[in-house]
């Protein structure tokens, strides 16, 4: 029996947006509006930065705060007010990136105002707006603004990711996760989706038993482990499904909306 759900936290890409689409379905919009009408808080918790937050979701969610950059900060998408943040040291990130040279590896970095990408092929991927630069590492070595998240990305033909992950496993300066087959995300060890969900629940005066989480990627695992009720999308890896209380359909088949009606609104 699911406890009464008063807040739903959810990933964006791969959960409400099919990867590469940048759009959610009408059924997803209707499910979020139904939560709003029922007084249920609906708060995105994604790897996106505040300036990447889609207007389509802004119109239908029911929350004052959104969790960004895998939990690196919690902010009001309308005013920019930051309720909580955990940054990373740009010099340490630059030094980390320099340990892994290779033409098949490029880098991304998220500040509060910019999303930087040094992909030499200058090809914008998926639906996320990108500012292309010659060298993210050099910018990080001279950065004068807070850095919330950085990422390794691997070109399509690359097979370097497993070796990079192996070398990173003993690094304690950062926490590493992966939302996509071709990336490794670098955050402050305190900046996890799980920690951010705990803080967001506290901001609303809710217990974690009243929180439901829905996600699809490995970087959603701490969020699912923290929430009182956890749902993995049908397109999730087995590792995420194993820690979930329930598994819904895929993002392409409106699994998010199905989960909202069944478990949050408790309507079959």
User: What integer pLDDT is reported at residue 1 of this predicted model?
Assistant: 53
pLDDT mean over 107-120: 91
Contacts 24+ apart (CB under 8 A), 127-136: 127/17, 127/20, 127/21, 127/22, 128/48, 128/52, 129/51, 129/52, 136/97, 136/106, 136/107, 136/108, 136/109
Nearest to 174 by CA among 160, 166, 163, 185: 185
Pick the residue with more confidence: 23 or 166? 166
pLDDT exceeds 80 at position 65: yes
Nearest to 8 by CA among 49, 56, 66, 54: 66
CATH code for the structural domain at 90-187? 3.30.1240.10
Q: Which CATH class is domain 7-85+191-264?
A: alpha beta
pLDDT exceeds 90 at position 3: no
User: What integer pLDDT is reported at residue 129 of this predicted model?
Assistant: 63
DSSP string, 69-82: GGGTEEE-TTT--E
User: What integer pLDDT is reported at residue 13 of this predicted model?
Assistant: 92
| DSSP secondary structure code for residue 5 in this structure | P
pLDDT exceeds 70 at position 26: yes
Q: How confident is the model at residue 92 (pLDDT cuts 50, 70, 90)?
A: very high
Rg for the chain, CA atoms, rounded: 18
pLDDT exceeds 70 at position 192: yes
Give the predicted TM-score (pTM) of the model.
0.88
Domain with CATH 3.40.50.1000 in the chain: 7-85+191-264
Digit-coded pLDDT (tens) for 122-151: 765 544 567 889 999 999 999 999 999 999
Digit-coded pLDDT (tens) for 219-244: 899 999 999 999 999 999 999 999 99
Domain with CATH 3.30.1240.10 in the chain: 90-187
User: What integer pLDDT is reported at residue 120 of this predicted model?
Assistant: 87
User: What integer pLDDT is reported at residue 41 of this predicted model?
Assistant: 98
- Torsions phi, psi for 33 (to 5 deg): -65, -35
Q: How confident is the model at residue 157 (pLDDT cuts 50, 70, 90)?
A: very high
Average pLDDT, the chain: 93
Digit-coded pLDDT (tens) for 34-51: 999 999 999 999 988 888
User: Above pLDDT 70, what percent of the chain?
Assistant: 97
Please provide the distance, in angstroms rounded to a whole number, between the alpha carbons at the two ends of the chain.
Answer: 14
| DSSP secondary structure code for residue 245 in this structure | S
């Amino acid at each position: 029996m699911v406890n009464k759900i008063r807040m739903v936290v959810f990933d964006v890409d791969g959960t409400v947006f099919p990867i590469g689409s940048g759009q959610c379905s009408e059924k997803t919009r209707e499910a979020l509006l139904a939560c709003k009408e029922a007084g249920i808080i609906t708060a995105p918790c994604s790897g996106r930065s505040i300036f990447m937050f889609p207007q389509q979701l802004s119109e239908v969610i029911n929350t004052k705060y959104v969790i960004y950059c895998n939990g690196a900060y919690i902010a009001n998408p309308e005013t920019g007010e930051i309720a909580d943040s955990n940054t990373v040291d740009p010099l340490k990130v630059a030094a980390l990136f320099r340990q892994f040279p290779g033409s098949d590896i490029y880098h991304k970095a998220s500040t509060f105002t910019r999303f930087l990408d040094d992909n030499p092929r200058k090809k914008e991927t998926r639906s996320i707006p990108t500012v292309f630069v010659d060298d993210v590492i050099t910018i990080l070595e001279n950065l004068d603004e807070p850095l919330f998240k950085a990422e390794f990305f691997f070109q399509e033909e690359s097979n370097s990711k497993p070796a990079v992950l192996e070398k990173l496993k003993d690094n304690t300066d950062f926490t590493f996760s992966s939302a996509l087959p071709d990336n490794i995300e670098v955050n402050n060890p305190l900046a996890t989706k799980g920690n951010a969900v705990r803080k967001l629940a506290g901001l609303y005066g809710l217990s974690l038993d009243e929180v439901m989480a829905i996600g699809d990627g490995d970087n959603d695992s701490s969020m699912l482990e923290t929430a009182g009720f956890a749902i993995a999308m049908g397109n999730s890896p087995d590792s995420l499904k194993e820690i979930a209380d329930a598994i819904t359909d895929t993002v392409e088949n409106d699994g998010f909306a199905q989960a909202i009606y069944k478990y949050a609104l408790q309507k079959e």
